[in-house]
């Protein structure tokens, strides 16, 4: 609503089987292509404690910007680039973290344009599966230059 229109929100619950990951991916890719504003709310997922979030390098009960989405390996690997608006603090420790040399092959880096690993404070990549595991909602809304 702050951007001038009702946001398009998708609820993502790890405790309930998220059966339409394909729809979520299509919406994220479409929103990214249309240069829409995207954010995700981290925390409040059944079965995960604040300590578990912190252990993975995520701030519980916190909102992150979704700044890029990209596929690799013929579309089978779906990655989401997320940014903590604080720019500092906890650092993602899961798959495709900045220090994950096993998953970040030169080919994957080139396919998704991830040459800046570790250089942009508060920004990290994660799989779509991890996004749906640790985030409880995704909000997508348009950006209007005439909004004040």
Catalytic amino acids? 62, 84
**Rounded to an integer, what distance in angstroms lies between the CA atom of residue 18 and that of residue 48?**
16
**Rounded to an integer, what distance in angstroms lies between the CA atom of residue 125 and that of residue 67?**
10
Tally of helices (H runs) and strands (E runs) in the chain: 4, 6
Place of tokens 């596929």: 71
**Rounded to an integer, what distance in angstroms lies between the CA atom of residue 22 and that of residue 20?**
5
Neighbours of 104 (CB within 10 A): 18
What is each CA distance from 21 to 12, 16, 60, 87, 104, in whole angstroms?
9, 12, 23, 28, 23
């Amino acid at each position: 609503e702050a951007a001038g229109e009702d946001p398009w929100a998708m609820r993502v619950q790890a405790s309930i089987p998220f059966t339409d990951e394909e729809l979520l991916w299509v919406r994220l890719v479409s929103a990214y292509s249309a240069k829409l504003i995207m954010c995700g709310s981290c925390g409040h997922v059944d079965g995960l404690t604040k300590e578990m979030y912190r252990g993975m390098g995520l701030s519980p009960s916190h909102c992150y910007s979704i700044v890029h989405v990209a596929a690799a390996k013929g579309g089978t690997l779906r990655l989401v680039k997320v940014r903590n608006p604080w720019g500092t603090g906890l650092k993602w420790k899961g798959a495709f973290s900045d220090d994950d040399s096993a998953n970040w092959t030169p080919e994957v880096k080139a396919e998704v344009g991830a040459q800046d690993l570790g250089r942009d404070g508060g920004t990290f990549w994660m799989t779509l599966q991890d996004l749906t595991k640790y985030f409880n909602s995704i909000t997508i809304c348009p950006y209007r230059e005439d909004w004040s």
